[in-house]
Homo-oligomer: A and B are copies of this chain.
Amino acid sequence: MEIYPLDRYYFSSKESVVDKDGTHEDRIRRLQSNYGAHGLRTCVRGVLLVELYQQPHVLLLQVRNSTFSLPGGRLRPGESDTAGLKRKLSRKLSHNNSDDGDWEVGECIGMWWRSDFETLPYPYMPRKPKECTKLFLVSLPMAWQFVVPRNMKLLAVPIRQLHDNCKTYGPIISGIPQLLSKFTIKIMQD
């Protein structure tokens, strides 16, 4: 897997993305009501890597100086994983919200399930799954322009800071180093 230095990339901002959730309770209520109407919720998330200080870093979004998340989101009914992830990556990271972009979506490296919306997810399917989150590798080209909504920050976090750090990043993000461990990461220099 080839990754490029962070300084190959350009960063700018665009209008805020509307936050549907409001309070934590609002979010849980919305997810439960959606589950009642549509069944299993499927989310797709991208793992994007860059080099900084000779170390691989993962790109994370931070909302309101608190929660960290991987770029991505919920699939529309009938939408494929790849099409949905490209749409969500454009919405969170590109100038053109509706553009599918030239995102290069690679293999699925892991999946997590929730049996309800208030507890931690598991890396195996429970009896009655309510949500499935699939992680995909996304290869970045040598140069790229990221355009991030004003209410979010895009951060590059070293892989070794994520490992075994469920408290700060949650189980899904803190498990990424393990899911990447089988790959040989090649840092491309000028």
Contacts and interface: CB of A to CB of B under 8 A. Distances in A.
Interface of A: 56, 107-112, 122-124, 159-160, 163-164, 171, 175, 177-182
Nearest to A56: B124
Identical copies of this chain, number: 2
Contact of A110 (B163, B164, B178): B178
Q: Is the interface of A mostly helix, strand, loop or mixed?
A: mixed
Contacts of A180: 123-124
Contacts of A160: 122, 124
Contacts of A110: 178-179, 181-182
Given A122-B163, A160-B122, A160-B124, A111 B182 contact: yes
Nearest to A178: B123
Given A56-B124, A123-B178, 10 more contacts: A107-B182, A110-B179, A110-B182, A122-B160, A123-B163, A123-B180, A124-B159, A124-B163, A124-B180, A179-B179
A124 B182 contact: no
